Amino acid sequence: MISTLVLSGSLLQEMIVHVDQHAPLEACGVLAGKVDRAEKMIGVLNQAQSPVRFVMDPYEQLHAFDWIEANGLDLVGIFHSHPAGPETVSPTDILEAAYEVVHIVLSRAETHWKARGFWIENNEAHEVVLQITE
């Protein structure tokens, strides 16, 4: 478990642009980096095409994982949006969390997106501080 994930403001902005483009549907993607630092985001198609649910498209997910490995990075996070809230991971998100990485929820309140991080283990979510750098 990690308690802080470090990422740049521009990386956060890239995630926001990706999920904003797909709203009101949920959007998702993965974060590549090292240990507690995210360096790159890769958007993945939401196969569910739903405003309240996401399922990463298996082909695009595999393609993203291949890219991460080819670039000598690790999977450090998975992000998805809640265009109509809430700010936190849902019971379904907790149940379906398949990777021990930081789960970032981008939630929207009116036109503003907010990001919060969570570590999910043993069916419990623990907040992970997102430390935004320049």
Active-site annotation, residues: 26
Residues contributing to the site for Zn ion (CB under 5 A):
90, 93
Alpha-carbon span 51 to 68, nearest angstrom: 28
Nearer to Zn ion, 90 or 133 (CB): 90
Tell me the closest approach of the beta carbon of residue 121 to Zn ion, in angstroms: 17
Nearer to Zn ion, 69 or 96 (CB): 96
Give 60 or 93: the residue with its C-beta nearer to Zn ion.
Answer: 93
Closest residue to Zn ion: CB criterion: 93
Q: How far is the CB of 118 from Zn ion (least distance, A)?
A: 10
Angle at 6 between CA 89 and CA 16, to 5 degrees: 55
Q: In 3D, which of 113, 103, 125 has the Cα closest to residue 38?
A: 103
For residue 21, how many other CB atoms are within 10 A of its CB?
A: 10
**Smallest separation, CB 134 to Zn ion (Å):** 29
Quote the least distance from Cβ 27 to Zn ion, whole Å: 11
Compare residues 8 and 90 and give the one whose CB is closer to Zn ion: 90
3-state secondary structure of 86: coil
Question: What is the C-alpha to C-alpha distance for residues 73 and 69, in angstroms, rounded to an integer?
Answer: 6
Cis check: omega of the bond before 58, within 30 degrees of 0: no
